[in-house]
A and B are shown apart, each in its own frame.
Chain A
């Protein structure tokens, strides 16, 4: 990887939109980290009059919801759940996807055949339907939603890793390692994997965005953990009041949209920075 980390960041930063995405992400991360300090008490506690519009009372800059909870506090604490589920679901998906893709691409033959059929199986089951089923069976805790979303999100990563492994496994540097008598596992982990990872990282960052959308849909439908502040849940709760107080749904929705937007922009930027050859595609 010529240029090292500074070069990488320079290439990333050349994409203005990606830089904007990074700024938004950092703001949300900051909000998530500051949430316990800003709003130390339970965000799901009733603190004021119900249905107070944003900017009416400095104590509640984003207003209050249908029963008088502080929307700003829910947004700040919701950022934690959103980020945690998004990141860990993507990590789960990456771990499964890279393992399966690497095994399929490296071993080839019947292993490849079997693992690719398995991948297809997960591809044809509609993702959200599958997530809802898993969540309804295991219960809607943060951990279970993370696992469920990870389990439906790995197929693209597996296919990409496999394709990378297929092109890499017969390259000269791999043959050289073989000739030196390096064991398979070391060639895979130390030589092939690092070269296969850059495009996978791009896909993983995009998987965070789609995981956040999955989580928000699960919470919106009321299948998430009612004890955890969540953006999607607040959109769902505000739905009954769209005639009088549509801002209750609007505000957390904007938060979800900005977060997903930021991650998509970052993914594009990473793609430019990590795969310069693909930039013009």
Chain B
């Protein structure tokens, strides 16, 4: 296991290097440096000051040297400096990360719970009304854009019914009321964005789960379990489900990046103060150090999650361990 971990981490290094080079060059291709935007925004026109800024940001050097310097600083976890927030890029990212992680985890939890449950029910009651209904819902949520779903959920649950707030992560009024009150307040705000982002993946999981479950339920050991006299649902849950969960774990790793991307639009819809809002703000204000930082940072996270998924696989599937 340790050997695999070391090998995968070593494989990840050139991958991260590649990602850095690719994104760095992409941003270099931008017409006009972010200094132009910055000086226009803060109305700096003094050429001496501009020249000094160019030197501070290393923009007087050739591109390859800037690239090498950037790689070297990323290796030391330094993603540069954001003039807009007047903070180190890593600090800016870290400040927005918790909100995004909460949103992503809640969405994935919803996706797993709803998706697995729907998939299991559809497989057990295959070709019945239930199967058809669940499959129909899955196809529907698979096609609905998350931002639109978010708006429609807002119209129904926030505007018409008034059950949950329209946006934000916390109420302005609820600040110093103790941890539990804060957690409840965040959960209250979290419900809609997590559903908007999670229902798509619930649909994906439901489809995969249904297919795998149908396959597993037709295997010999399921018949044996039934022949032993075990109850139907006990067989399904204890014997079937455990063996059908593996593809879901794979999907989880593969989709981590897309969930991250999806959170950009959902965060915008619900004014959720996470990486997505940061990314959109940085893209529209051409704050390229942050854009580059988010790209590289999120790629590293995706690589690490995939390594973690591989290791989880090793624990979950004894057939792989034996090899």
Q: Indicate if the CB atoms of B15 and A120 lie closer than 8 Å.
A: yes
Compute how far the CA of A61 lies from the CA of B210 in the bound complex, rounded to whole angstroms.
Answer: 40
Q: Indicate if the CB atoms of A117 and B140 lie closer than 8 Å.
A: no
Most central of A127, A222, A257, A265 by chain B CB within 10 Å = A257
Q: Judge if B155 is at the interface, Cβ distance under 8 Å.
A: yes
Q: Judge if A216 is at the interface, Cβ distance under 8 Å.
A: yes
Q: Indicate if the CB atoms of A260 and B143 lie closer than 8 Å.
A: yes
Q: Indicate if the CB atoms of A125 and B280 lie closer than 8 Å.
A: no
Q: Indicate if the CB atoms of B279 and A235 lie closer than 8 Å.
A: no
Compute how far the CA of A235 lies from the CA of B286 in the bound complex, rounded to whole angstroms.
Answer: 24
Secondary structure class of chain A's binding surface, majority of residues: helix
Q: Judge if B23 is at the interface, Cβ distance under 8 Å.
A: yes
Q: Which residues of A sit under 8 angstroms from B303, Cβ to Cβ?
A: 124
In the complex where A129-B260, A132-B279 touch, is A261 in contact with B139 (Cβ < 8 A)? yes
**Among B52-60, B146-154, B168-176, which stretch is in contact with chain A?**
B146-154
Q: Indicate if the CB atoms of B151 and A125 lie closer than 8 Å.
A: no
**Among A44-52, A96-104, A245-253, which stretch is in contact with chain B?**
A245-253
Compute how far the CA of A223 lies from the CA of B299 in the bound complex, rounded to whole angstroms.
Answer: 23
Q: Judge if A88 is at the interface, Cβ distance under 8 Å.
A: no
Q: Indicate if the CB atoms of B151 and A213 lie closer than 8 Å.
A: no
Q: Which residues of A sit under 8 angstroms from B27, Cβ to Cβ?
A: 133, 137
Q: Judge if A60 is at the interface, Cβ distance under 8 Å.
A: no
CB < 8 Å: which of B15, B257, B283, B302 contacts A132? B283
Q: What residue in chain B is nearest A239 (Cβ atoms)?
A: B151
| A5-21 at interface with B (beta carbon < 8 Å) | 17
Compute how far the CA of A256 lies from the CA of B146 in the bound complex, rounded to whole angstroms.
Answer: 11
Q: Which residues of A sit under 8 angstroms from B18, Cβ to Cβ?
A: 117-118, 121
Closest beta carbon of chain B to A268's beta carbon, Å: 9
CB < 8 Å: which of B22, B145, B154, B286 contacts A242? B154
Q: Indicate if the CB atoms of B139 and A129 lie closer than 8 Å.
A: no
Q: What residue in chain B is nearest A258 (Cβ atoms)?
A: B143
Compute how far the CA of A126 lies from the CA of B257 in the bound complex, rounded to whole angstroms.
Answer: 5
**B299-314 interface mask toward A, CB cutoff 8 Å, 1 = contact, 0 = none?**
1001100100000000
Q: Indicate if the CB atoms of A221 and B265 lie closer than 8 Å.
A: yes
Q: Judge if B322 is at the interface, Cβ distance under 8 Å.
A: no
Closest beta carbon of chain A to B135's beta carbon, Å: 9
Closest beta carbon of chain B to A53's beta carbon, Å: 14
| B123-180 at interface with A (beta carbon < 8 Å) | 139-140, 142-145, 147-148, 151-152, 154-155, 159
Compute how far the CA of A133 lies from the CA of B283 in the bound complex, rounded to whole angstroms.
Answer: 6
Most central of B211, B265, B286 by chain A CB within 10 Å = B265
Most central of A137, A243, A246, A281 by chain B CB within 10 Å = A137
